[in-house]
Amino acid sequence: MALGLAAKQAIVKEVNDVASNALSVAVAEYRGMEVADMTQLRRQAREQGVYLKVIRNTLAKRAFVDTKFQDMETALTGPLIYGFSIDAPGTAARLFKEFAKENKHLKVTALSIGSGLMGADKLDAVASLPTRDEALAKLLATFKAPVSKFVRTINEVPTKFVRVLSAIKDAK
């Protein structure tokens, strides 16, 4: 069924709003996927906070105008599903990577984290980006490490002294 002009404009506005607020976008070709597989992908996307949309590439090109994903225009060919990461930059890439392990019909074609178009070969790098909570945990561990090492070092002096006294006592 053909879409009217008003429906197309609404889709472009919706995708433009999402793209303006998204941290990254992953684009995958879904040719050959069955409806049940697509439903499962959408369910997983909802659980992980990824916005998924299947739209015409011409509408996507218009939606990406004046966003940081404007350079993706050259990669938009074929039947594509767009995954926008809202909370963490690697979420959509991680979702597509994990789903592609089970379903061979899903093939990631392009990625962008707002700094330029990346090919499918960068999928592992983008998918391994930490979430906000993981990044904060790593930062706190980095801050905590010197203090912990200092405390252990200070504690080692009396402990070593007690061990020496115990060894002398055992020797006599």
Indicate the number of domains in the chain.
Answer: 2
Average pLDDT, the chain: 84
The pLDDT value given to residue 128: 66
124 in the same domain as 61 = yes
85 contacts 18 by C-beta, under 8 angstroms: no
- Scanning 3-131, the segments in alpha helix (DSSP H) are 5-21, 35-48, 57-63, 91-102, 123-127
Dihedral-angle region of residue 78 (phi above 0 means left; psi in -120 to 50 means alpha; beta otherwise):
left
**pLDDT at residue 124, as a whole number:** 66
pLDDT tens digits, one per residue of 113-151: 877 777 776 666 666 677 777 778 888 888 888 888 888
Whole domain around residue 154: which residue ranges? 131-171
- CB 114, CB 24: distance < 8 Å: yes
Structure tokens at 50: 């990824």
Are 115 and 136 found together in one domain?
Answer: no
Say how far residue 28 (Cα) sits from the centre of its chain.
Answer: 14
Do 100 and 159 lie in one domain? The reply is: no
pLDDT level of residue 167 (50, 70, 90 thresholds): confident
> How confident is the model at residue 1, as a pLDDT?
57
91 against 126, higher pLDDT: 91
Residues 49 and 119 in one domain: yes
43 pLDDT higher than 90: yes
Q: What is the mean pLDDT of residues 56-81?
A: 85
In the chain, % of residues over pLDDT 90: 5
State the average pLDDT over residues 93-110: 86
Q: In angstroms, rounded to a whole number, what is the distance separating the alpha carbons of residues 118 and 113? A: 8
Whether residues 152 and 75 fall in one domain: no
| Mean pLDDT, rounded, for 80-90 | 87
CATH number at residue 77: 3.30.70.1730
Question: In this model, does residue 8 exceed pLDDT 80?
Answer: yes
Residue 71 carries which DSSP code? G
The whole-number average pLDDT for the span 49-74 is 86
d(CA 2, CA 4): 7
